[in-house]
Amino acid sequence: MTDIIRGTWIVSYRELLRFFTERSRTFSTIFMPLVFLAIFGAGFQNLIPNLSPGVDFLKFVYPGIIAMTVLQSSIFSGISIVWDREFGFLKEILVAPLSRSGIVLGKVAGAAAIALMQSIIMLILAPFLHVELTLLTVVALIPVVIIIAISLSGLGVLIASRMRSQQGFQVIIQVIIFPLMFLSGVFFPINSVPSWMAVIGKINPVTYGVDAIRQIVLGKNISAAGGVMGESGSQLGVTVFGHTMTAGQDILVVVAIGAVLLALAIWSFSRQE
């Protein structure tokens, strides 16, 4: 247990140092969500009617952009493993007296901390977007963001543990990240899409993270719409087998999927030679 804690601390600290020294990575992971928010939110705000009383398209997209920020930061965290492998540093880590489980947990913890910092930046922008956030809302969002980041980081580490080049990792991640993002309800209510797309969206773990964040941020406005239906007639929540998921149930789904991904990531990384 001591080796696991020690490995987690050392690796997570190194991940944070690397993030703050790589300015291009810091800039890109913050800039991209802002671009999506500006293009999709501001661009379509006047073209799409309110999805529920008090919730225009920009306010609807905003929680999804927070989740998208967490998604990008968490999954791309695995690239540090590929970088370490290419430059031979991974061998030094593997022969060090550190638990391999601790190494994976350190990568995940570092990614979660980075994702949380980037999410806080997005929360600072809320007043400029006319999104009302109370202190209680922010406090409730912090553990949700951390849970989502840990879960998705497991996927990033799992993929990275089998990759041998940064170029290959980035190609695979781009193939994975865009379907996860666009089929998670970030830009449209998941229950208003064609049935085949809704089925894919409801097996997407990011969908439940998006829904949890959206319910916490816009809970009062969603409740004002009768809990589910908006003016456009589309459902704002995620309905599974006729049941509309609550934020707590969304989080439980993310935790369950994240536990599986994290276990697979530890297993895969432990097989490294």
Domain count, the chain: 1
DSSP string for 164-218: --HHHHHHHHHHHHHHHHHTTTSSS-GGGS-HHHHHHHHT-HHHHHHHHHHHHHH
Q: How much is the pLDDT for 201?
A: 87
CB-based contacts of 157: which residues, under 8 Å, 6+ apart? Answer: 77, 78, 81, 104, 107, 108, 265, 268, 269
The model's pLDDT over 239-263, given as tens digits with 9 standing for 90+, comes to 888 888 888 999 999 999 999 999 9
pLDDT class of 228 with cuts at 50, 70, 90: very low
The model's pLDDT over 142-171, given as tens digits with 9 standing for 90+, comes to 999 999 999 999 898 888 888 888 888 888
Q: How much is the pLDDT for 41?
A: 64
252 and 74 in contact (C-beta within 8 Å)? no
Q: How many Å apart are CA 132 and CA 28, to the nearest integer?
A: 27
| Coil vs helix vs strand at 245 | coil
| Coil vs helix vs strand at 243 | strand
The model's pLDDT over 30-58, given as tens digits with 9 standing for 90+, comes to 677 777 777 766 666 665 656 665 677 77
Structure tokens at 174: 């781009």
What is the rounded average pLDDT for all residues in the chain?
79
Q: How much is the pLDDT for 226?
A: 44
CA distances from 17 to 12, 21, 22 (A): 9, 6, 9
What is the extent of the structural domain holding 153? 2-270
Q: Residue 129 has what DSSP assignment? A: G
pLDDT class of 182 with cuts at 50, 70, 90: confident
247 and 211 in contact (C-beta within 8 Å)? yes
Q: Which range has the top average pLDDT, 191-195, 215-219, 250-254?
A: 250-254
Structure tokens at 209: 């993270």
Q: How many Å apart are CA 42 and CA 104, to the nearest integer?
A: 39
Over range 167-183, report the average pLDDT.
Answer: 86
pLDDT at 91 over 90: no
Structure tokens at 228: 């589910």
pLDDT at 227 over 80: no
